[in-house]
């Protein structure tokens, strides 16, 4: 499954523009991003060998996942869709050139999986 990633050209361009215009930058790191995004459909997982349960051995039981996990194929895409929906809901618009670049008024946000950079004319605007 496809999960978009910001281009390095966009990152470099944004940082150069922030230096030229003396804009402020703020780096953010989203913690445990994949479990935050809602799971799309039921996913069942076999228990690993050696795990003991109250009702039997691990070969006879499955776990239903309640949240996305890091090695799932769709986890990156689901997280990106979740973040995009949240940004659009608070007034950001998605760039037509790079789908990981968002802007609102004079604030620009770029995301790279679970990291992001806000750029704006003042710290007050981006905080």
Indicate the pLDDT class of residue 57, thresholds 50, 70 and 90: low
Q: What pairing do the DSSP bridges indicate for beta strands 62-64 and 93-94?
A: unpaired
Segment 59-113, tens digit of pLDDT = 667 777 777 776 677 777 888 888 999 999 999 999 999 999 999 999 999 998 8
What average pLDDT does the segment 48-54 reach? Answer: 73
Provide the sign of the torsion angle of the four alpha carbons 110, 27, 69, 40, taken in this order.
Answer: negative
Predicted local confidence at residue 12, as pLDDT: 95
Distances 106 to 59, 68, 121 between C-alpha atoms, Å: 56, 34, 7
């Amino acid at each position: 499954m496809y999960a978009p990633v910001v281009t390095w050209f966009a990152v470099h361009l944004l940082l150069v523009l922030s230096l030229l215009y003396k804009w402020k930058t703020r780096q953010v790191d989203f913690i445990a991003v994949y479990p935050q995004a809602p799971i799309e459909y039921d996913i069942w997982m076999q228990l690993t060998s050696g795990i003991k349960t109250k009702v039997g051995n691990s070969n006879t039981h499955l776990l239903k996942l309640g949240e996305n996990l890091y090695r799932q194929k769709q986890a990156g895409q689901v997280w990106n869709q979740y973040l995009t929906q949240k940004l659009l809901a608070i007034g950001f618009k998605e760039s037509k050139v790079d789908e990981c670049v968002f802007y609102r008024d004079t604030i620009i946000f770029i995301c790279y999986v679970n990291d992001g950079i806000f750029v704006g004319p003042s710290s007050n605007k981006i905080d």
